[in-house]
Structure 1
Amino acid sequence: MNITLAHGFTQTSRSWADVVEILTGHGLDTAGITAVDLPGHGDSAAVRADLWGSAERLVAAGSTGTLVGYSMGGRVALHAALRHRDAVERLVLIGATPGIADAAERRARRAADEALADHIDGVGVAAFIDEWLTNPLFAGLTDETAQRADRLRNTAAGLSSSLRLAGTGTQEPLWNRLADIACPVLLIVGATDRKFRTVAESMAELLPDATVAVIDGAGHSAHLEQPAATVQALLDWLAERP
Structure 2
Amino acid sequence: MKIFIDEVYYAVESVGEGEPLICLHGFTGDGSTWDDLKDQLSGKLRVITIDCLGHGESDIPSDYHRYSIEKCAHDLNRIVEELHLASVNILGYSMGGRLALTFAVLFPEKVKRLILESSSPGLKSEDERSSRQIADEKLSQILLNDGIEAFVDYWEDIALFSSQKKLPAEKQQKIRDQRLNCNPLGLANSLRGMGTGAQPSWWDSLENLQMPVLLLAGELDEKFCLLNEEMKKRLPNAVFHKISECGHALHVEHSTKFGKMIEEFLLTT
Q: TM-score, normalised by structure 2?
A: 0.84
Indicate the SS of the match to 2:123. Answer: coil
TM-superposition CA deviations, 1:35-81 (whole Å, max 9, x none): 11001111124144210111122333344221000000000000000
Structure 2 gaps of 5+ residues are: 1-18
2: CA distance between counterparts of 1:84 and 1:132?
33
Alignment correspondent of 1:52: 70
Instruction: After TM superposition, list the pairs within 5 Å mapping 1:81-230 onto structure 2.
Output: 81-141=104-164, 142=167, 143-146=169-172, 147-230=175-258
Q: TM-score, normalised by structure 1?
A: 0.93
Taking only aligned residues, the RMSD between alpha carbons, in angstroms, comes to 1.4
- For this pair of structures, how many residues does the alignment match? 237
Contact 1:12 1:151 in 2 (8 A): no
Structure 1 gaps of 5+ residues are: none
2: CA distance between counterparts of 1:123 and 1:90?
41
Indicate the SS of the match to 2:171. Answer: coil
TM-superposition CA deviations, 1:115-157 (whole Å, max 9, x none): 2111210111122112111111111213433411122221000
Is 1:42 the counterpart of 2:56 in the alignment? yes
2: CA distance between counterparts of 1:144 and 1:106?
37
Indicate the SS of the match to 1:169. Answer: coil
Contact 1:36 1:61 in 2 (8 A): no
Contact 1:51 1:166 in 2 (8 A): yes
Aligned-partner residue type, residue 10 of structure 1: T
Indicate the SS of the match to 2:154. Answer: helix
Contact 2:147 2:184 in 1 (8 A): yes
Alignment correspondent of 1:9: 27
- Shift in Å, 1:10: 0.6
Q: 1:70 aligns with which of 84, 93, 109?
A: 93
1: CA distance between counterparts of 2:77 and 2:153?
32
Aligned-partner residue type, residue 37 of structure 2: V
